[in-house]
A and B are shown apart, each in its own frame.
Chain A
Amino acid sequence: MSKKNKKSAAAAASAAPDKQPVNEKKAVKKEEKEEEEEEEDIEVEEEMELLQVDVGDIIKVKQILDETVAGTMISNDISAHGGTVRIREAYGHDNMKLLLMALACCFAAVAQFGLTNDFPKNRIWLGVCCGSYFCISGILQLIMTFIDKDCIMRIQPLSDPEAIKLVKKGGNKYLGKYGIRVRTQFPRFSEFYSVILEFNGKNPPTGYVKQTWSVGQFFDVDGHFDEEGLMLEIEKLYRRFEAGNFDKPNDVGGSKVMKKKNN
């Protein structure tokens, strides 16, 4: 073997063992990185604090549950069809109530601050403002008692043709035309929390889905709240509604059973 060849052979021989350790080193480094990331993930998970509530405060418990339900309903991944089906909250009704409240406050502010001088002379205007305030207040009360009842949010009908197509194929042909009303029930001194999804709009179909859970399923003795657990349950409930698997009407309603129809 010539010197050159020996040298090149030696160089090759020295290079070959370097390559292997370099590859091994890279692999080891990768593994270490992955382990660190996992540890970080684990650490992040461990650091997540669960929301804690005084379970004796029924109003607060219902508020937390309702907020979670509302947040889950408008999340991007609630639908079984992924991000194609986007759920949007309907603000029309809420806007109307806000407008009425603002109008009532305007009348009251005029009566309180604008008509303080020359009282007997501006008595008629005072009467008009007070009367308007109480009328609007009464209308708001009627809306909350007879129209809103236990509804916590309204969802718009689907507007995207692709989404409507997908949902129709899935079994619910009404979500393109009608919105959804989300109702929750949590009677006083009861441990059971119910969520009802039904159609919303003019002459809506009577199909609905209802699910009841014990609050013990989401709260422990110390009041720590399992938000993820409730979100998963709400997702299941919505997907049932989306698929047209409606509940049979019980003593509330008395309407026809909506059957799932395949196109």
Chain B
Amino acid sequence: MIKDMMDKQVLELKKLWANKRQLTFQLLNLAMIVFSALMIWKGLMFATKSESPVVVVLSGSMEPAFQRGDILFLNNSVDRVYVGDVVVFKIRDRDIPIVHRILKVHEKPDGKVELLTKGDNNRVDDRGLYAPGQLWLEREDILGKAVGTLRYVGMVTIALNDYPVLKYVLVGMMGLFVLTSKEG
């Protein structure tokens, strides 16, 4: 059965290869489907002025407000952030963003803003997490302020990151679904 399916697919590919115009159309169609998803992300980046408009909460440091696996929607087009705002920030030379609450805000006369953050579920502030010698965050370190959330939806992302074999299982299940639905 699998061999028949493979033969059919190969036949379809050969037919497509013989008709270059149709092949071009199909390739561009596929490219547009992929680019549509990517452009939605880029569009969100443009609209929210945030490098990462959607993030997943990876730890329990913000419990009970946010649980591990929650998805957060960010907006970085806000002019100012205030004490109590939940923000996502990145520490210099580190890739993983952190979701914590603003504990202190210092505005200097020259307009420079210095921030101190802390996780709701942590005992101490985040100075221990900052880069060596860094005592305050700057406005440029903030990726965005949390403006919306989807509970637990991000658990799939966490599971796939923690257990890469799940990716193959997921793809295999999708393939099985395609097979069985065709048989039906």
Contact = CB atoms under 8 A, between A and B. Distances in A.
A134 B35 contact: no
Given A54-B182, A98-B24, A137 B46 contact: no
Contacts of A102: 28
B42 interface: yes
Contacts of B36: 137
A54 B25 CA distance: 25
B35 A112 contact: yes
Interface stretch (A76-84, A122-130, A189-197, A204-212): A122-130
B141 to A, nearest CB: 13
A215 interface: no
Interface string B34-51: 011011001101100101
A38 B155 CA distance: 70
Given A101-B28, A108-B35, A134-B39, A126 B21 contact: no
B32 A105 contact: yes
B140 to A, nearest CB: 9
A112 B45 CA distance: 11
Given A104-B35, A108-B35, A134 B43 contact: yes
Contacts of A54: 182
Nearest to B34: A108
A57 interface: yes
Interface in A106-162: 108-109, 111-112, 119-120, 123, 126-127, 129-130, 133-134, 137
Given A98-B25, A101-B29, A133 B46 contact: no
Interface in B26-83: 28-29, 31-32, 35-36, 38-39, 42-43, 45-46, 49, 51
Nearest to B140: A120
B38 A108 contact: yes
Nearest to B24: A98
B28 A105 contact: yes
A130 B32 contact: no
B32 to A, nearest CB: 6
Interface residues of A, number: 25
A104 B39 CA distance: 11
Contacts of A134: 39, 43
A130 B24 contact: no
A15 B124 CA distance: 125
A90 B51 CA distance: 46
B46 A127 contact: yes
A123 B49 contact: yes
Contacts of B28: 98, 101-102, 105
Interface string A86-111: 00000100100110011011001101
Nearest to B184: A56
A119 B32 CA distance: 23
A100 to B, nearest CB: 9
Contact of A104 (B32, B38, B45): B32
A101 B46 CA distance: 22
Contacts of B42: 111-112, 126, 129-130
Nearest to A101: B28
A76 to B, nearest CB: 18
Contacts of B25: 94, 97-98, 101
A139 B105 CA distance: 47
B38 A123 contact: no
A81 to B, nearest CB: 28
A192 B35 CA distance: 36
Nearest to A125: B46
**9 shortest A-B CB distances, which residue pairs?**
A108-B35, A101-B28, A127-B46, A130-B43, A105-B31, A133-B39, A126-B46, A130-B42, A111-B42
Interface of A: 54, 56-57, 91, 94, 97-98, 101-102, 104-105, 108-109, 111-112, 119-120, 123, 126-127, 129-130, 133-134, 137
19 contacts: A54-B182, A57-B182, A94-B25, A98-B24, A101-B25, A101-B28, A102-B28, A105-B28, A105-B32, A105-B35, A108-B39, A109-B35, A111-B42, A112-B38, A112-B42, A123-B49, A126-B46, A130-B46, A133-B35
